[in-house]
Amino acid sequence: MIFLALKTYKQTTGDEVIKILSPVKKVQEETGVSIIACAQATDVYRIKKELDIEVWAQHIDPIDPGKNTGWISPYSIRQAGATGVLINHSEHKIPEEAIIKTVEKAKQYGLKTMLIGHTVEMVEKFNSFDINFISYEKEDLIASTTSMIDQQEEAIKELIKKLKHPLIIGAGINDGEDVKKSVMAGAKGVLLATYFVTAPDPEAKLRELASGFKV
């Protein structure tokens, strides 16, 4: 599985996000690798409608429909076509109490969840939560040239032995080799953004990343 955390880059907003994601369905069908776009709330409906690929939200707030001006409603996100949500990304951390409520609301409204931890201890704690995926990504490695799997390989292998949820490796995933190492260590997939979004040829980069699952 490849989760594309599209952040708020200009290249992943509005018309441009449709362009950059246009090869996703084809690459997914040709490689057999699931590719999930984690998009801005404003683009979820459009991506689903125009490209018919799986799309997740980057964040939701733990609210029900009603008087919540300015908040991101799980119900609205689901109605827009999203099937899941990232929770507690290092660029949008939330307190543990909010994490618990957000996980509950996501489940209530039919959204799958990936809960992101930034330390081994945090990931181990999140293992007891009722979620679909856990991601481990160190903040200082995000968008860096050092991948998580290179720096944390042994820790990741030990972590996977303890986890009941599938682990997704994030932070510094640069190429197919990083993906291959992650899969061989026991990870279910990867979470990345920068090296896809900024690639001269995003489709070629996507194919390269997908090739890492051939182990």
**Can 92 be counted among the known catalytic residues?**
no
Vertex 210 angle, CA 143 and 4, to 5°: 40
Number of Cβ atoms within 10 Å of the Cβ of 97: 9
At position 160, the amino acid (one-letter code) is I
**Can 118 be counted among the known catalytic residues?**
no
Annotated catalytic residue, options 89, 118, 165, 208: 89
What is the Cα–Cα distance from 99 to 77, expressed in whole angstroms? 17
Burial class (CB in 10 A: 0-12, 13-18, 19+), 52: exposed
Annotated catalytic residue, options 54, 59, 118, 137: 137
**Which string of b and e fits 128-152 if b means at least 16 CB within 10 Å?**
eeebbbbbbbbeebbeeeebbbebb
Provide the annotated active-site residues: 89, 137
